[in-house]
């Protein structure tokens, strides 16, 4: 009969009732002034108290689970335990697939690096995206086969395609020149677009009941990179950078996931998610989600993230972005660090971003190295 069984509790209750009845029946016979009668009365009291106490203790044990077996109650090992592995349901498909190499005129991969065409298949969100990955020359050199490399995620604007980062902004060319010129450490540079679904500007936001865009960048993308490449996964070893909407995404990634993205830069970017026909309803009427999507609001109302952030804008040519940048920098407090790169002239265009990227890559490399 188990210690926690209902049968035991009912049996003890019946014994308690019988013991009480027995005490009431025998008590007159024990009511005498003799030693034997005194011992009898004491025995009847003990019997009644023990029987009632047993019921209470078993009931309490059943309610709160102090002991599950008689062996546990008596301090003995209750049994053996064995691990039974469950069915794994098959191996998870790779989250990153290399579809070939993109020729961008860098030269031999062992000297200048290589650009892979990739497809990311998010195991968390189920979303997918095409993109590119620049691998530094050290990735292919002898003696570096076991090296891991920091990662910078470069995000283009919206609407846009990731190839604009190659043909217009020339990110892999800038990265290769910086690595071979020893101005930055050998680094993997991922090049993607900000939208995770076709024909919708998701603004790197986890839309209630819709695409989980921020989760894609914060969780799926790192899983995908680590499925295929030798990435450095030390705390804050990754950086992010983007222009326009991509810059908003990059800053948001570092502010929401600083354990992964230790530094981020936004070029000519809003610091909040504009809602329009292309975005649709990003917040489903939830004011808190809307507030948290405003990066300046986050600095004012939430604990400051341990991340380094860089904002880039022209004081003359980009008045709106410059005003947001100044307000954002004024609200920053430790451990958040905010730097500003102010241009005398420039605008919201590929030529300007192409000119800014070499300085931004050096800034990211310096900040990521300082955080180690």
pLDDT tens string 349-358: 889 999 999 9
Clarify whether residues 210 and 348 are in a common domain: yes
* Mean pLDDT, residues 29-46: 77
In this structure, the answer to whether residues 152 and 59 fall within a common structural domain is no
59 with 137, same domain? no
Residue appearing with tokens 């908003």: 248
**The pTM is what?**
0.76
Domain that holds residue 194: 96-370
| Domains in the chain, number | 2
Is residue 293 included in any domain, yes or no? yes
Domain shared by 125 and 21, yes or no = no
pLDDT at residue 124 is higher than 70: yes
Beta bridge partners of 311: 266, 340
List, for residues 302-323, the tens digit of each pLDDT value: 999 999 999 998 888 788 889 9
Q: What span, in angstroms and rounded, lies between the C-alpha atoms of 139 and 257?
A: 26
Q: Is residue 12 part of a domain?
A: yes
Residue 105 placed within a domain: yes
Residue 81 and residue 96: Cα distance in Å, rounded?
39
Give the Cα separation of 335 and 357 in Å (integer): 25
CA-nearest of 260, 214, 270, 225 to 239 is: 260
Domain co-membership, 203 together with 110 = yes
Q: Would 86 be classed as within a structural domain?
A: no
Decide if pLDDT at 78 tops 70: no
Looking at the fold, whether 275 and 320 belong to one and the same domain comes out as yes
Instruction: Judge whether 90 lies within some domain.
Output: no
Cα–chain center distance at 105: 37
Residues 62 and 118 in one domain: no
Residue 318 lies in a domain: yes
Q: State the average pLDDT for the chain.
A: 89
Inter-residue contact 135 to 113 (CB < 8 Å): yes
SS3 assignment, position 266: strand
Same domain, residue pair 135 and 257: yes
Residue 343 belongs to some domain of the structure: yes
What is the three-class DSSP state of 257? Answer: coil
For 62-66, 102-106, 283-287, 336-340, which range has the lowest pLDDT when averaged over its residues?
62-66
> Residue 189: which CATH number?
3.40.50.1820
């Amino acid at each position: 009969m188990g210690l926690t069984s209902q049968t035991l509790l009912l049996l003890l209750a019946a014994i308690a009732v019988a013991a009480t009845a027995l005490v009431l029946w025998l008590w007159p016979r024990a009511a005498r002034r003799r030693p034997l009668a005194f011992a009898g009365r004491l025995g009847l009291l003990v019997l009644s108290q023990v029987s009632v106490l047993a019921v209470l203790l078993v009931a309490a044990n059943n309610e709160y689970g102090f002991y599950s077996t008689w062996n546990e109650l008596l301090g003995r090992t209750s049994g053996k335990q064995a691990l039974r592995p469950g069915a794994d349901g098959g191996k998870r498909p790779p989250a990153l697939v290399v579809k070939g190499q993109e020729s961008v005129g860098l030269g031999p991969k062992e000297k200048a690096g290589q650009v892979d065409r990739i497809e990311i298949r998010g195991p968390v969100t189920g979303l997918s995206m095409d993109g590119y990955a620049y691998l530094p020359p050290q990735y292919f050199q002898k003696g570096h086969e076991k090296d891991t490399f920091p990662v910078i995620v470069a995000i283009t604007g919206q609407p846009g395609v990731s190839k604009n980062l190659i043909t217009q902004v020339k990110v892999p060319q800038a990265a290769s020149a910086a690595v071979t010129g020893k101005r930055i450490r050998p680094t993997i540079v991922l090049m993607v677009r900000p939208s995770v679904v076709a024909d919708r500007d998701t603004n790197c936001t986890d839309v209630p009941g819709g695409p989980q865009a921020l989760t894609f960048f914060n969780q799926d993308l790192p899983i995908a990179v680590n499925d295929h490449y030798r990435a450095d996964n030390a705390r804050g070893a990754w950086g992010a950078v983007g222009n326009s909407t991509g810059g908003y995404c990059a800053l948001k990634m570092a502010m929401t996931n600083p354990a992964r993205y230790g530094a981020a830069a936004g070029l000519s970017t809003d610091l909040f998610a504009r809602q329009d026909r292309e975005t649709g309803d990003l917040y489903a009427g939830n004011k808190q989600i809307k507030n948290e999507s405003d990066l300046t609001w986050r600095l004012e109302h939430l604990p400051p993230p341990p991340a380094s952030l860089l904002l880039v804008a022209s004081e003359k040519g980009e008045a709106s972005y410059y005003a947001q940048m100044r307000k954002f920098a004024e609200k920053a407090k430790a451990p958040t660090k905010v730097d500003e790169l102010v241009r005398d002239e420039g605008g919201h265009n590929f030529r300007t971003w192409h000119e800014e990227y070499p300085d931004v890559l050096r800034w990211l490399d310096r900040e990521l190295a300082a955080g180690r």
